[in-house]
């Protein structure tokens, strides 16, 4: 690990001021950052510890939404009864990720900023455009079984690893951030993560020195929630494909649908196509198949990950059958 200086921020204002130094980075749970620092993929020269800032509260909002502080631990979010009852898709997604130990440490803000688990990104001997700009993408012609089929580019086919962010995408969450002048702004999650294009080293629209302070959730959409994750092991493994779903039906027709996919793209993949295909249609397997086709339209397989197109469709259809059928009976 490269050397760095360390300071513990006393408050948000001093945290963002400290982070304006060149080479500075925030650290909270550290479960991803320290791993990458050990490999010298991340090389901050100054660490600003924000883990003790009073930003861990989970609060009801006047509009019926919820505001989750950036320093809330993943466990605290998944255990909060308001999250479990009103935003079950979020609790389910958080619990599908990592291990108990990691969720106890990982923060809400850090989860959004975690970096890809592409093995070539981690292999410092291999070319990687995300890690070493312009060096090439080893995954394109390599073992790309875990890689993206949607939204990728010829510069990078890495996936975003977060389960939590997939649920936040389905819930239309907004990310609150402050900059070094203490000015606050809210970024819709759809605009937070960016596609790789020619600049895969740029992963979010968060500016240098900006600090996430909270994630806000609008009132939950009506209907039943589901998060289904398909992976190589039953637990403690990243998704090959995941589906976040919130769906409501009335008299057998779909009146509201939120669909987001994980494990298939460089960012949490909200599928407006699938939602449009479902809305107003009968909650039948035929309709679900059409929605799945829409969700995967334009998918680009890369060889080892060809199976992900069928897997994503089947996972979405199965989740729709299980969830919408239950909604009809409810």
Out of 13, 57, 101, 207, the residue judged to bind another protein by CB under 8 A:
101
Q: Report if residue 146 touches another protein, rule: CB under 8 A.
A: no
- Taking CB under 8 A as the binding criterion, the range among 22-30, 132-140, 281-289, 312-320 that sits at the site for another protein is 22-30
Kindly report the backbone phi and psi dihedral angles of residue 220, in degrees, each rounded to the nearest multiple of 5, phi listed first.
Answer: -65, 140
Judged by CB under 8 A, does residue 236 bind another protein?
yes
CB of 187 to another protein, least distance (A): 27
38 token code pair:
């050990």
Q: Does 1 bind another protein (CB under 8 A)?
A: yes
75 binds another protein (CB under 8 A): yes
Q: Which of 64, 99, 208, 326 binds another protein (CB under 8 A)?
A: 99
Q: Is 88 near another protein (CB under 8 A)?
A: yes
- 10 Å CB burial of residue 181 (0-12, 13-18, 19+) is exposed
Should residue 21 be labelled a site residue for another protein when binding is judged by CB under 8 A?
no
Candidates 5, 182, 184, 250; binder of another protein (CB under 8 A) is: 5
Q: Give the residue from 160, 157, 190 showing the smallest Cα distance to 271.
A: 190
Q: Say how far apart CA 48 and CA 18 lie, in whole Å.
A: 7
Longest dimension (CA), the chain: 63
Report CA-CA distances (Å) from 275 to 7, 246, 283. Answer: 46, 10, 12
Going by C-beta distance under 8 Å and a sequence separation of 6 or more, which residues neighbour residue 206? Answer: 113, 175, 177, 187, 192, 212
- Give the list of residues 6+ apart from residue 13 with CB closer than 8 angstroms, or none: 182
Of 162, 158, 164, the C-alpha closest to 142 is 158
Q: At what angle do helices 307-329 and 285-295 cross, to 10 degrees?
A: 140
Interface stretch with another protein, choices 87-95, 205-213, 295-303, 304-312 (CB under 8 A): 87-95
Q: Is 4 in the site for another protein (CB under 8 A)?
A: yes
Instruction: Give the shortest CB-258-to-another protein separation in angstroms.
Output: 18
Judged by CB under 8 A, the stretch of 46-54, 108-116, 134-142, 206-214 that binds another protein is: 46-54
Q: Which stretch binds another protein (CB under 8 A): 180-188, 233-241, 257-265, 310-318?
A: 233-241
Residue 211 C-beta: closest distance to another protein, Å: 17
- Residue range at the interface with another protein (CB under 8 A); choices 83-91, 133-141, 200-208, 322-330: 83-91
Smallest Cα–Cα separation from 150: which of 259, 245, 271?
A: 271
In DSSP notation, 191-234 reads GTB---TT-TT--BSPPTT-EEEEEEEPSPPSSEEEEEEE-SSS
d(CA 206, CA 192): 7
168 binds another protein (CB under 8 A): no
Q: Which of 18, 53, 72, 78 binds another protein (CB under 8 A)?
A: 78
* Chain contacts with another protein (rule: CB under 8 A): 1, 3-6, 8, 27, 29-31, 34-35, 38, 47, 49, 51, 75, 78-79, 81, 84-85, 88, 91-92, 95-96, 98-102, 104-105, 234-236
């Amino acid at each position: 690990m490269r050397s760095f200086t360390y300071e513990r921020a006393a408050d948000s204002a001093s945290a963002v001021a400290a982070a304006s130094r060149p080479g500075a980075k925030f650290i909270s749970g550290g479960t991803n950052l320290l791993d990458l620092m050990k490999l010298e993929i991340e090389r901050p020269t100054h660490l600003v510890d924000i883990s003790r800032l009073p930003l861990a509260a989970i609060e009801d909002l006047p509009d019926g939404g919820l505001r989750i502080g950036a320093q809330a631990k993943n466990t605290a979010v998944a255990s909060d009864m308001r999250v479990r009852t009103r935003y079950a898709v979020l609790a389910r997604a958080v619990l599908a990720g990592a291990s108990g130990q990691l969720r106890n440490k990982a923060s809400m803000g850090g989860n959004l900023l975690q970096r890809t688990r592409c093995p070539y990104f981690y292999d410092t001997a291999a070319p990687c455009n995300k890690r070493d700009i312009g060096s090439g993408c080893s995954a394109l012609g390599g073992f790309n079984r875990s890689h993206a089929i949607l939204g990728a580019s010829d510069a990078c086919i890495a996936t975003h690893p977060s389960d939590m962010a997939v649920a936040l995408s389905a819930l239309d969450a907004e990310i609150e951030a402050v900059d070094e002048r203490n000015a606050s702004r809210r970024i819709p999650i759809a605009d937070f993560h960016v596609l790789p294009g020619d600049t895969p080293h740029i992963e979010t629209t968060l500016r240098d020195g900006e600090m996430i302070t909270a994630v806000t959730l609008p009132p939950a959409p009506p209907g039943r929630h589901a998060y289904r994750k398909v992976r190589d092991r039953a637990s403690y493994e990243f998704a090959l494909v995941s589906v976040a779903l919130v769906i409501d039906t009335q008299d057998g027709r779909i009146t509201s649908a939120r669909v987001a996919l994980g494990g298939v793209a460089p960012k949490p993949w909200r599928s407006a196509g699938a939602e449009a295909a479902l809305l107003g249609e009968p909650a039948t397997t035929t309709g679900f198949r059409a929605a799945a086709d829409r969700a995967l339209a334009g998918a680009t397989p890369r060889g080892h990950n060809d199976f992900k197109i069928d897997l994503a469709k089947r996972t979405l259809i199965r989740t729709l059958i299980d969830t919408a059928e239950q909604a009809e009976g409810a």
